[in-house]
């Protein structure tokens, strides 16, 4: 695409040097100066540490034909530099990305899922139902971007604008008809999804997390609510009204544009005749398109909410209700979400790896698992470094109160002192409660499993699918499931 054609579609360009070769062909887009290829347009994004625009010289040296940078950087540079200035880099970057990749979200039917917990689980359920209904679907979220024949591990829950539009365009080329994506509050606040149109937007819940990034809960809610504004949502909202923020959102969006769901009351989507078993939940699903008996392999009250949300989304996209009920028993689950680690059929303790890393999800996990554990519930958990510190004592309190044995350990300490994080967690635990504190995560998992008695359940929370641990700025290989297996083998050997 020629630079002239591209810029004609871009918002927020305020400075264009007279000498710029407008007929030059733009071959690609890059926001990282180091990743620039010959023929690229470099987009220098202001970040929290640096203004990426500062790196325009290195981008041009790598072959970029021009650079889109903040007005300030453009006006301070030499007059003959090929710098395009913008007074709104977020809008400019997003509109360049959408235009360059020819507006993929206009070609796909798009579902956006936001909320503190349940996004990954709900998007996987939606992907499963759509695929079973033979609707080719692209999934984007915390774990990966994938569609039939393609899978790439994700660096962020929601990619930045260029990667996002690029991947959606590739999904279109691969024949996908529907895009299902997790939309994080960071992405909404940073405008990563600007230029995307959603046919269905879904709100799971809002509880404490990310108060390192968002000023307060109101600010966090405001970011999530953006997805439901006319800028993004063209179709229906699907909203959890068991959540107080969800009820506020319905009032903002309007009842006529919303399908509500609830696991505790009547709503547009709700359930009755629920029967809980260790293998899942059965009952009757009530929807605006009729009622159907269901059998879900997912345990935990919160997974009923995720199921209602997913059913609402796929009904909106035309999937048949009976088909949903027919295929649901085969849902394979989500990696690292209530994932059982079993090394032999005769294993006499249960070991479960889960991604609970917020106060609400930790509480949900322990409450959901407890009825199926005949012995003690042993919970191994920690809190990530360089992230919301205020959730640490809350998670400590929850684990100490709800588990029989709490083992406090490290999650991803990142650049923080791991012992300082443990102290923050312990600050929430009443002094009379006894907890085990083992900073080394492998040793903590081992200790929990070795001390478990027949019938006990070991819940290993916080890292789920992650196959790494971030220590300082280094990422090492680490997988809770592998560590649990090693410890289970050692326990077998000892017994
Ligand atoms: C808070 C946040 O989102 N930060 C993101 C942001 O970092 P930053 O603002 O510090 O960037 P920076 O280092 O100042 O660089 C600014 C720009 O200069 C460019 N640059 C920089 C150096 C250079 O030599 N050349 C160059 O071009 C960079 O590519 C960047 O575009 O831009 C970086 C590059 O684009 C991101 O990798 C980084 O994500 C960090 C790693 C992160 O951890 N983000 C998390 C919190 C996040 O986004 N999480 C949500 C999920 C949350 C949930 O669970 O709900 C997500 O969607 O994943
Ligand atoms: N609807 C829900 N309500 C509350 N807790 C939930 C819900 N669904 C899942 N959880 C808990 O939260 C954890 C994370 O779930 P999931 O990965 O689906 O959420 P997410 O919103 O994608 O999280 P993230 O923002 O970190 O990617 C699960 O492992 C489980 O313990
Ligand atoms: N999406 C979450 C992931 C947290 C996972 C946990 N293991 C941690 O490192 O804190 C975040 O960026 O806060
Ligand atoms: Mg997720």
79 pLDDT higher than 90: no
Per the listing, tokens 């307060």 go with 216
Per-residue model confidence (pLDDT) at position 18: 84
* pLDDT average, residue stretch 127-156: 98
66 pLDDT higher than 90: yes
Cα of 57 to ligand 2 centre, how many Å? Answer: 43
Per-residue model confidence (pLDDT) at position 80: 81
* pLDDT average, residue stretch 295-320: 97
**What is the ipTM, given to two decimal places?**
0.94
Select from 82, 78, 99, 80 the least CA-distant residue to 12. Answer: 99
- How do residues 430-474 score in pLDDT, each as one tens digit? 999 999 999 999 999 999 999 999 999 999 999 999 999 999 999
All CATH 3.40.1390.10 domain ranges of the chain, comma separated, are 3-101
* pLDDT average, residue stretch 61-86: 93
What residues does 474 pair with on adjacent strands?
Answer: 471
The pocket around ligand 2, CB under 6 angstroms, is made up of 117-121, 142, 157, 182, 204-205, 302, 305-306, 337, 354-356, 360-361, 364-365, 464
Buried b (16+ CB within 10 A) or exposed e, 344-368: eeeeebbbbbbbbbbbbbbbbbbeb
**Band (11; pLDDT cuts 50, 70, 90):** confident
Residue-averaged pLDDT of the chain: 96
Per-residue model confidence (pLDDT) at position 427: 98
Q: Which fold has domain 3-101?
A: 3.40.1390
Mutating to test ligand 3, I would choose from 183, 212, 354, 387 the residue with most ligand atoms within 8 A of its C-beta, which is 387
Q: 129 and 309 in contact (C-beta within 8 Å)?
A: no
The pTM for the full model equals 0.96
The answer to whether 158 is a known ligand-binding residue is yes
Q: Going by CA atoms, what residue is nearest to atom 15 of ligand 2? A: 118
The answer to whether 415 is a known ligand-binding residue is no
Relative to the alpha carbon of 186, which ligand is closest?
Answer: 1
Mutating to test ligand 1, I would choose from 45, 67, 68, 391 the residue with most ligand atoms within 8 A of its C-beta, which is 45
278 pLDDT higher than 90: no
Per-residue model confidence (pLDDT) at position 292: 98
* pLDDT average, residue stretch 275-303: 95
Mutating to test ligand 3, I would choose from 384, 415, 464, 479 the residue with most ligand atoms within 8 A of its C-beta, which is 384
**Band (495; pLDDT cuts 50, 70, 90):** confident
Q: Going by CA atoms, what residue is nearest to atom 55 of ligand 1? A: 184
Q: Which fold has domain 104-330?
A: 3.40.1190
- How do residues 111-133 score in pLDDT, each as one tens digit? 999 999 999 999 999 999 999 99
- How do residues 216-259 score in pLDDT, each as one tens digit? 999 999 999 999 999 999 999 999 999 999 999 999 999 999 99
Tokens of 293: 């008996």
* pLDDT average, residue stretch 30-39: 95
* pLDDT average, residue stretch 261-290: 96
All CATH 3.90.190.20 domain ranges of the chain, comma separated, are 339-494
Where helices occur in 279-318 by DSSP H, the ranges are 301-316
Per-residue model confidence (pLDDT) at position 184: 98
Buried b (16+ CB within 10 A) or exposed e, 142-153: bbebbbeeeeee
The pocket around ligand 1, CB under 6 angstroms, is made up of 31-34, 45, 47-50, 52, 55, 156-158, 160, 184-187, 213
The answer to whether 247 is a known ligand-binding residue is no
DSSP 366-379: HHHHGGG-SS-EEE
All CATH 3.40.1190.10 domain ranges of the chain, comma separated, are 104-330
- Decide if domain 339-494 falls under CATH 1.20.120.330: no
Q: 171 and 108 in contact (C-beta within 8 Å)?
A: yes
Distances from the Cα of 273 to the Cα of 270, 276, 286, 301, angstroms: 11, 10, 11, 14
CA atoms within 13 A on the CB side of 391: 25
Residues with Cβ within 8 Å of 379's Cβ and at least 6 positions away in sequence, in order, are: 362, 366, 399, 402, 403, 405, 406, 407, 458, 459, 461
């Amino acid at each position: 695409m020629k630079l002239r054609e591209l810029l004609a579609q871009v918002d927020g360009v305020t400075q264009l040097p007279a000498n710029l070769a407008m007929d030059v062909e733009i071959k690609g887009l890059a926001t990282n100066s180091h990743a620039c290829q010959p023929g690229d347009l470099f987009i220098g994004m202001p970040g929290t540490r640096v203004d990426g625009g500062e790196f325009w010289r290195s981008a041009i040296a790598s072959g970029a034909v021009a650079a889109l940078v903040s007005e300030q950087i453009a006006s301070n540079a030499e007059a003959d530099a090929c710098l395009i200035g913008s007074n709104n880099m977020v809008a400019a970057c997003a509109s360049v990305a959408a235009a360059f990749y020819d507006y993929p979200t206009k070609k796909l039917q798009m579902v956006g899922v936001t909320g503190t917990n349940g996004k990954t689980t709900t998007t996987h359920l939606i992907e499963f139902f759509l695929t079973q209904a033979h609707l080719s679907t692209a999934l984007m979220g915390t774990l990966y971007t994938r569609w039939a024949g393609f899978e790439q591990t994700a660096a962020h829950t929601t990619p930045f604008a260029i990667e996002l539009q690029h991947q959606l365009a590739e999904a279109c080329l691969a024949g996908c008809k529907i895009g299902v994506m997790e939309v994080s509050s960071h992405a909404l606040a940073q405008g990563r999804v600007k230029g995307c149109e959603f046919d269905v937007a879904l709100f799971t819940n809002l509880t404490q997390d990310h108060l390192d990034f968002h000023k307060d809960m109101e600010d966090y809610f405001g970011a999530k609510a953006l997805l439901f504004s006319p800028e993004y949502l063209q179709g229906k909202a699907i909203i959890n009204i068991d959540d107080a923020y969800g009820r506020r959102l319905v009032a903002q969006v309007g009842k006529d544009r919303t399908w509500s769901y609830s696991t505790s009351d009547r709503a547009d989507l709700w359930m009755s005749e629920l029967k809980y078993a260790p293998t899942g939940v059965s009952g009757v699903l009530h929807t605006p398109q009729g009622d159907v008996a269901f059998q879900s392999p997912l345990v935990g009250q919160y997974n009923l909410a995720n199921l209602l949300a997913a059913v609402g989304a796929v009904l909106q996209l035309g999937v048949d209700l009976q088909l949903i009920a027919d295929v649901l028993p085969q849902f394979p689950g989500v990696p690292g979400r209530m994932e059982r680690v079993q090394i032999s059929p005769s294993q006499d303790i249960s070991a479960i790896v889960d991604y609970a890393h917020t106060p609400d999800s930790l509480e949900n996990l322990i409450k959901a698992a407890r009825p199926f554990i005949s012995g003690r519930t042993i919970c191994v958990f920690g809190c990530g470094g360089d992230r919301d510190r205020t959730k640490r004592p809350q998670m400590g309190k929850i684990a100490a109160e709800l588990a029989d044995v709490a083992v406090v350990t490290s999650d991803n300490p990142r650049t923080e002192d791991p012992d300082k994080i443990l102290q923050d967690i312990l600050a929430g635990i009443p002094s009379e409660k006894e907890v085990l504190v083992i900073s080394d995560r492998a040793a903590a998992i081992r200790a929990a499993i070795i001390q478990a008695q027949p019938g006990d359940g070991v819940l290993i929370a916080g890292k789920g699918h992650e196959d790494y641990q971030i220590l300082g700025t280094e990422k090492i290989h680490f997988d809770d499931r592998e560590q649990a297996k090693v410890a289970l083998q050692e326990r077998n050997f000892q017994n």
